């Protein structure tokens, strides 16, 4: 399916429930992965870690999927990370957007990967596979995250190193950032891992948890609900497997009404 230019340029008025925003930049990481930034309506409010319905007008109707915001709430623009699926109804089109195109942003943001859903704790672990990294990019640039936890560890696992999106930003730009630099340098640890080609850390998240290398490599005691908190975002299989490992160690799932020691959300867009 190719993009019909009229689909991207057509709507002048946002359909009910959506903001109509303008694409500013597009970055293609690999042939399976891209990200883009767009303008942000001042009325669009969200908490770091949340998602909104994002998409395009197709055939005069909104075609949208859930996307986590990559950008932190304090940024004046929005950023999203997406896979590209050649026959995916939305991403086959969305991957062709260029600066100036219009995108739909659902007015209401929601989601469970918010720090309020976790009891305060010592170490906050972000476990991400693939585009499941998105909500953590927002959370790790939100100063409030560091108010509630002593330390933040981001574990991002992908098949190939080229899929380690935002690697430079996390490891080089953020530590040098004027406002966030000190927090990030002192409190954030980034553990990228790759499973299908040689890499310094070549392992699935589940394997690192089961072997204990995850915590041992950082000189930390084994994962425990006493002091650790976890947020999971990845494929259904990864979420289910990590959830089981955490529950076996006594972690309980948190929600809006009752904060717990872990929360989970799937990386939504698979088409």
Cβ closer to ligand A2P: 57 or 154? 154
In the bound complex, what is the minimum distance in angstroms from residue 207's beta carbon to ligand A2P?
Answer: 8
In the bound complex, what is the minimum distance in angstroms from residue 165's beta carbon to ligand A2P?
Answer: 12
In the bound complex, what is the minimum distance in angstroms from residue 161's beta carbon to ligand A2P?
Answer: 11
Cβ closer to ligand A2P: 75 or 253? 253
In the bound complex, what is the minimum distance in angstroms from residue 248's beta carbon to ligand A2P?
Answer: 15
Whether the CB-CB separation of 55 and 103 falls below 8 Å is answered with: yes
Cβ closer to ligand A2P: 62 or 130? 130
Dig out the tokens for 141 from the structure: 């640039």
Cβ closer to ligand A2P: 57 or 242? 242
Which residues lie below 8 Å from residue 50, measured CB to CB, with a gap of 6+? 68, 69, 109, 110, 111, 113, 114, 135, 138
In the bound complex, what is the minimum distance in angstroms from residue 85's beta carbon to ligand A2P?
Answer: 12
| C-alpha to C-alpha distance for 128 and 132, rounded to whole angstroms | 5
Cβ closer to ligand A2P: 3 or 235? 235
Task: Using the structure block, give the residue that is written with the tokens 């939100």.
Answer: 142
Cβ closer to ligand A2P: 40 or 65? 65
In the bound complex, what is the minimum distance in angstroms from residue 208's beta carbon to ligand A2P?
Answer: 9
Cβ closer to ligand A2P: 169 or 244? 244
* DSSP-assigned letter for residue 106: E
| C-alpha to C-alpha distance for 76 and 173, rounded to whole angstroms | 19
Q: Where on the chain is the footprint of ligand A2P (CB under 6 A)?
A: 129-130, 157-159, 195-196, 204-206, 235, 237-238, 241
**In terms of residues, how long is the chain?**
271
Which residues lie below 8 Å from residue 176, measured CB to CB, with a gap of 6+? none
Which residues lie below 8 Å from residue 231, measured CB to CB, with a gap of 6+? 49, 113, 118, 124, 125, 126, 127, 135, 136, 139, 262, 263, 264
In the bound complex, what is the minimum distance in angstroms from residue 269's beta carbon to ligand A2P?
Answer: 12
Identify which of 237, 5, 218 has the alpha carbon closest to the alpha carbon of residue 98: 5
Cα distances (Å, whole numbers) of residue 7 to 55, 56, 63, 99: 11, 7, 11, 15
Cβ closer to ligand A2P: 206 or 224? 206
In the bound complex, what is the minimum distance in angstroms from residue 238's beta carbon to ligand A2P?
Answer: 4
| C-alpha to C-alpha distance for 155 and 192, rounded to whole angstroms | 6
Cα–chain center distance at 116: 17
């Amino acid at each position: 399916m190719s993009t019909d230019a009229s689909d991207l340029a057509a709507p002048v008025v946002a359909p009910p429930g959506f903001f109509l925003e303008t694409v500013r930049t597009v970055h293609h990481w690999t042939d399976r992965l891209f990200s883009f930034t767009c303008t942000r309506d001042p009325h669009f409010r969200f908490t770091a870690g949340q998602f909104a319905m994002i998409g395009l007008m197709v055939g005069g109707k909104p075609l949208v999927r859930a996307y986590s915001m990559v950008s932190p709430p304090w940024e004046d623009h929005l950023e999203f990370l997406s896979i590209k699926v050649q026959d995916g109804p939305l991403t086959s089109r969305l991957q062709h957007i260029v600066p100036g195109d219009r995108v739909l942003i659902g007015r209401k943001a929601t989601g469970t990967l918010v720090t309020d859903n976790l009891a305060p704790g010592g170490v906050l672990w972000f476990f991400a596979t693939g585009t499941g990294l998105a909500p953590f990019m927002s959370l790790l640039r939100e100063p409030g995250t560091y108010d509630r936890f002593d330390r933040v560890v981001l574990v991002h696992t992908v098949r190939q190193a080229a899929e380690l999106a935002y690697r430079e930003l996390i490891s080089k730009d953020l530590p040098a950032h004027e406002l966030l630099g000190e927090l990030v340098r002192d409190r954030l640890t980034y553990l990228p891992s790759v499973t299908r080609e040689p890499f310094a850390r070549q392992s699935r998240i589940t394997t690192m948890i089961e072997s204990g290398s995850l915590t041992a490599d950082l000189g930390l005691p084994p994962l425990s609900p006493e002091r650790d908190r976890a947020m999971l975002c990845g494929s259904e299989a990864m979420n289910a497997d990590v959830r089981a490992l955490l529950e076996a160690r006594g972690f309980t799932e948190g929600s809006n009404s009752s904060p717990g020691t872990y929360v989970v959300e799937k990386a939504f867009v698979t088409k």
